[in-house]
Structure 1
Amino acid sequence: MNLKEYGYNDFFAAQFAELELPEQLIPGRVTAVFKHVMRVVSADGEHLAKTKSSSFRDALRTDWPAIGDFVALESHPSDTSLIHKVLERKSIFLRDDPDPDMPPQVVAANFDYCFLVNSANDDFNINRLERYLTVAWNSGANPVIVLTKADLSDKLSYYMDQLNAAAFGVPVFAVDSISGTGLDELRSLLSPGETIVLLGSSGVGKSSLVNALAGEERMKTSGIREDDARGRHTTTHREMHLLPSGIIVIDTPGMRGLGIGNAAAGLEETFQDIEEIAQQCRFGDCSHHNEPGCAVQDALENGTLARKHYANWEKLRKELAYNERKNNILLMRQDKQQWKAISKQHRAKPKKKV
């Protein structure tokens, strides 16, 4: 199997060549993540793998292998292979752990495009899109907005106007996976060997989009509930698909709750219109609430800035500030635990006799 078909390029090959690794190790890529094991692809084909315990004993949670990662692999095709090291990532998508005391989770790595999938029905939510855009801009990849079920909507123009207003230059495609509307335009954006990750809530049509791009059924699909237009979970784990066109797709389970983590750069990019207005405020430390000479409040009063857009910006700014404080506390706890372990080891060492 040719790993280049799975996106292995000069960026990763150069890293692998520079590492001082045992000769038996080969490059591989993680193509699926299950509860206790992963699936990898390498020159030896596709098979199961797990981490080598001694290599990841002291590793941070975000340094463990995730779907899309390129790894140094001890290959055992007839058994379970061992992952020794994760190569440097060129992009990464993180989400907050439901447990506030835990660090973020890596959802996917090493993708070129982040497809933010929305559906043209009553589940359309512009605030959710701005949240996804914030995370996507922070990932290091290029965001693309995909509006699915376009042929079923009588409000398509309204949805497209909403998306284009929020996107600030991000490409927006309206597609229908059943009829094929808009798929050719979407395919023209992509080249063989490139990886895309699909992000969106349940029922927006991610699995149907994968099947349409592949030209065959790769993913199970289900309908939507008629009472609220929301879908049922069809993807239960993260999985990679190599399509006949040479495009690589990472599908992820639907996520209604998505924290922005520490995506400060992504927040600035998503709300660049407000950031530009804020530069005109009289005071550099303006909180954009009640200060005199606040350009943001002036824009709200004269209608050049939408209050809903501003409210979502405020909400995500507070979330970002909270996450930064939480991250500092977690780091302090980790440092404290590390020094406790070092002190314990030091006390356990036998004293030299004089």
Structure 2
Amino acid sequence: MLDVMRTVAVLAYDGMSPFHLSVPCLVFGNQRDDRYDVLVCAEEPGSLRTNAGFGLTVDHGLEAMERADVVVLPSWHPGRAASGVLIDAIRRAHERGATVVGLCIGAFLVAASGIADGREVVTHWRWAERLQALYPELAVRADVLWSDLGDLITSAGTAASLDCCLHLVRAHHGVEYAEQLARDIVVAPHRSGSQAQYIPVPVPPDPTDDVIEKAMVWARARLDQPVSLDEWAGAVALSRRTFTRQFRARTGSSGQAWLLRQRLDRARLLLETTDHPIERVAGESGFGSSAALRHHFHAVLGTTPQRHRQEFAV
């Protein structure tokens, strides 16, 4: 696949957290082969303060949004009213076809722009109630990590922002490339957007006591085989009921939903990196048949295995 250079405009503003700004710059700017051109921009370029005791110098104004393929709003002050100039810049970029990404409380800017009216928006659980009160026309979610509506992507807090940006890289350049990038910046290669934001599970006193992590390792080694819930629970010496409860508490997902995502990622990787027939890809990723693989591809990813291969084959 011929990769297209994409321009990413990332908004900076006076008094922002540099950590929030660093997330999209790290993910989209950490490229060894120039797949993204990252432009940090501000309504008034020049010297900006941060809340961390040091300043920033921003070279680009909001005109960067006029030519961006992706506009990232990495955060905002919930109590600060956005200027008409900034709101207009976001709206024009969206109308032109740019993907707008609101990370964490950047969802407040998304909401203020009106581009999400009547639609779903994700934000940090701590700010969700306030956002919903200010913008009752939105469907505000605080129970998932991120949401991708195609032209609009929103996410929860900082760690979820990393997941969200990696999801966009995966959509642009495929699983293998996104996993290489995740390894470079030492983060988990994939957390599903449907995972819960806040999972109140205690950290095991000894990592070797984490039976759910052991169960995940066991299942990943057997993605090409049928895995029943009873067999899976038995592999870590738990009853089916206890395993199901602990797995959801640990991951925010059911075991079968997690396993399906692992198999889809295995299938995507095989499609990108091999010329195996679709039937073989289905077998090696645990779907059993090409029909089952096509069904789940369409249901979860909105595409077909063949089209995915055409777009992302190395």
TM over 0.5: no
Higher RCO, Cα 8 Å, sep 6+:
1
Larger Rg computed on CA atoms? 1
TM-score (norm. length: structure 2): 0.31
Which has the larger share of strand? 1
